[in-house]
Amino acid sequence: MNNKPLQQFFRPLGMGLFVVISFVLGGLYGRPAATTAQQPQGGGGLIPRFMSLPAESATTLNGANYVLNGGGDLSGLALPGNQVIPRFAVGFTLPPDYAPGTDVVLRMTWGNSRYNAITCGFRMWVNGVSRFRADGPPYYPAPYAVFPNGLDEITLLAPDTSEQIRATTITIAGQDSLGNDLHQPGDVFSVLIARRADDVNDTCAGTLYVLGLDMTYEGLSSYLPMITKN
């Protein structure tokens, strides 16, 4: 019996089936894998998020100013020791993915002057925190904004080597002492940070330079893509 007509019929059908199977397998095994940054992280559906706050945009008060020293000294927000309470204000808005009830952490990277090569202390103070919300009154959560020592004041120790870079943080609590959420997405913050140059614990004659500022918060992972293709 001659099966040539049947072979001619099934040959293109087999080729088509082979192409379909190859395409499916290629899609399963050749699909780009999600990178670490694209995968959900953190417990409870939360992921740490980061926001840079340019020091150049801060508002300076009481003798503080932004200086660009080039090779002469450090560049940044200068808080001199010959002023009573030099200070600066920095602001930010909580993004849409902020998880209500979680802490907000402001980090301040700082350095001591080239001309301050002795062991001494800079007395820093959370001079005030203001939070504003549309269709609501201002709120001042100063008692819930603290340095790593749990207080609104801290002495930052400068080493006996000039131009050493250090960092400290200010944590703005997301809840009050009763467990009530304090903040929500869209809240606007203004944080006033001062050097208590008049304090007995401020023993540095030179200038403290704030070199950079940033803010971290807990974001809802549901706002992030799980897998994306490059």
Task: Mark whether 4 and 114 lie in a shared domain.
Answer: no
Q: Tell me which residue has tokens 């087999």.
A: 14
Residue 146, domain CATH: 2.60.120.260
Write the pLDDT tens digit of every residue in 106-142: 999 998 877 665 788 999 999 999 999 999 999 997 6
Which regions in the chain score pLDDT beneath 70? 1-44, 70-72, 115-117, 142, 162-163, 223-230
Task: Mark whether 25 and 90 lie in a shared domain.
Answer: no
128-154 b/e (C-beta count within 10 Å ≥ 16 → b): bbbbeeeeeeeeebeebbbbeeeebbb
Q: What is the pLDDT of residue 25?
A: 43
**How far, in Å, are 102, 132, 154 from residue 147 at the CA level?**
17, 22, 7
Task: Mark whether 14 and 46 lie in a shared domain.
Answer: no
Task: Mark whether 153 and 45 lie in a shared domain.
Answer: yes
**13 phi and psi, to 5 degrees?**
-65, -40
Task: Mark whether 12 and 91 lie in a shared domain.
Answer: no
Q: What is the pLDDT of residue 163?
A: 67
Instruction: Please tell me the total number of residues recorded for the chain in this structure.
Output: 230
- Boundaries of domain holding 27: 1-31
Number of domains in the chain: 2
Task: Mark whether 94 and 197 lie in a shared domain.
Answer: yes
Residue 229 belongs to a domain: no
Task: Mark whether 24 and 129 lie in a shared domain.
Answer: no
Task: Mark whether 190 and 128 lie in a shared domain.
Answer: yes
Task: Mark whether 5 and 112 lie in a shared domain.
Answer: no
Instruction: DSSP letter for 36, please.
Output: G
Residue 103 near residue 189, CB atoms below 8 Å: no
Residue 105 near residue 170, CB atoms below 8 Å: yes
Which residues make beta-bridge pairs with 158?
Answer: 120
Residue 36 belongs to a domain: no
Surface-to-core class of residue 22, CB atoms within 10 Å of its CB (0-12 exposed, 13-18 middle, 19+ buried): exposed
Task: Mark whether 84 and 122 lie in a shared domain.
Answer: yes
The model carries a pTM of 0.76
Residue 227 belongs to a domain: no
Pick from 120, 108, 107, 130: which is nearest to 183 by CA?
Answer: 130
Integer Rg of the chain from CA: 28
Task: Mark whether 21 and 91 lie in a shared domain.
Answer: no
Residue 228 belongs to a domain: no
Give kind and range of the element (H or E) at residue 17. Answer: helix 4-29
Residue 48 belongs to a domain: yes
Task: Give the tokens for residue 137.
Answer: 């009154």
Collapsing DSSP to helix, strand or coil, 97 comes out as coil
Residue 225 belongs to a domain: no
Surface-to-core class of residue 226, CB atoms within 10 Å of its CB (0-12 exposed, 13-18 middle, 19+ buried): exposed
Task: Mark whether 26 and 46 lie in a shared domain.
Answer: no
Residue 49 belongs to a domain: yes
Residue 150 belongs to a domain: yes
